[in-house]
Amino acid sequence: MTLLVTGGAGFIGSNFVHHWLAEHDELLVNLDKLTYAGNLGNLQSLAQDQRHVFVQGDIADTALVAQLLQQYQPRAVLHFAAESHVDRSIHGPLDFIHTNVVGTCQLLESVRAYWAALPADQQQSFRFLHVSTDEVYGSLAPDAPAFTETHPYAPNSPYAASKAASDHLVRAWHHTYGLPVLTTHCSNNYGPYHFPEKLIPLVIHHALSGKPLPVYGDGMQVRDWLFVQDHCRAIDRVLQAGTPGETYNIGGWNEKPNIEVVKTLCSLLDELQPRADGQSYAAQITFVKDRAGHDRRYAIDAGKINDSLGWQPVETFETGLRKTVRWYLDHSDWVSSVTSGAYRQWVDLHYGG
């Protein structure tokens, strides 16, 4: 039995690889292009694990994907590979269209050809699981109910639009060709191996480096926070018991304004690694110009996956955030390895130095 995972050297993908190999004795083939956010350091502890086969390559390389499918005969493909940072999509949307739309389409075609040639019983048990985002639903008013699986799509950034397009392709390949697909929409993830361009790891890294902690606008943008290992457990559950053609929203039931998240991080760092001068890290908070088209609020209603599959998050925001801060403090070498000159140039470009 074999799984093929795309994007398994990225943040969520690598956490899933670790989760799966800890819980299951099954070969896992990991295909990742190793762009800036893909990092073999995320998988270092698996270097001697013969159940993990890493292949560097692009999901849009149809010859390579076809070769891997034929060689390893996976029972499922889990599609994590994506360009995922809204800020980067504003600066360079075409990369997002190439990977998230064109790449997903070419991957679907490669998988469809493989699936169509399988014996009937293997066709029926095969799954293509597509990992998506709550951002495809757009922005919620402060008092609006949380996103359900039937909420209309209203993407507001190039990133969200590219993921919405990929969702529609996955749906179409199911309804047109019968490919047995599953789609998940997650809220904001956080946890180990998170590339420090996103809010939580960026704040931790900047705080410890003595740099300003940039907060967009008034900091009152609300997000629903999901500990990445809870997300991995949910994907595992959907793969095992989800109904083909169905969508499952995965959230942490943790709506927090960005400024509250930043202040909580500062308090944890004050406790776990105090500043030498005795001041709070909160003194480094700096409000910056708001992101273009910044969505005001996201919130996931995870009732469907709870009711139908029995999943719910284990971590509260407080326990998950403490584990996250502790991980970054204990893995300073990993942080140093990913915050290269190119990363610093990106931060300077986007936050104006």
Whether 149 is catalytic: no
d(CA 353, CA 345): 9
148 vs 300: CA distance, rounded Å: 7
Q: Is 246 a catalytic residue?
A: no
Cβ atoms of residues 28 and 51 within 8 Å:
yes
Catalytic residue, candidates 32, 58, 135, 167: 135
**Do 193 and 11 contact (CB within 8 A), yes or no?**
yes
49 flagged as catalytic:
no
Phi (first) and psi of residue 305, to 5 degrees: -70, -30
Instruction: Point out the catalytic residue in the list 114, 159, 193, 298.
Output: 159
Helices (H) and strands (E) in the chain, counts: 14, 12
Distance of CA 183 to the CA centre of its chain: 13
Answer whether 49's CB lies under 8 Å from 21's CB.
yes
User: What would you report as the CA-atom Rg of the chain, rounded to the nearest whole angstrom?
Assistant: 20
Out of 32, 58, 134, 236, pick the active-site residue.
134
Closest CA to 240 of 186, 305, 178, 300: 305
- Specify the length of the chain in residues: 353
What are the residue numbers of the active site?
134-135, 159
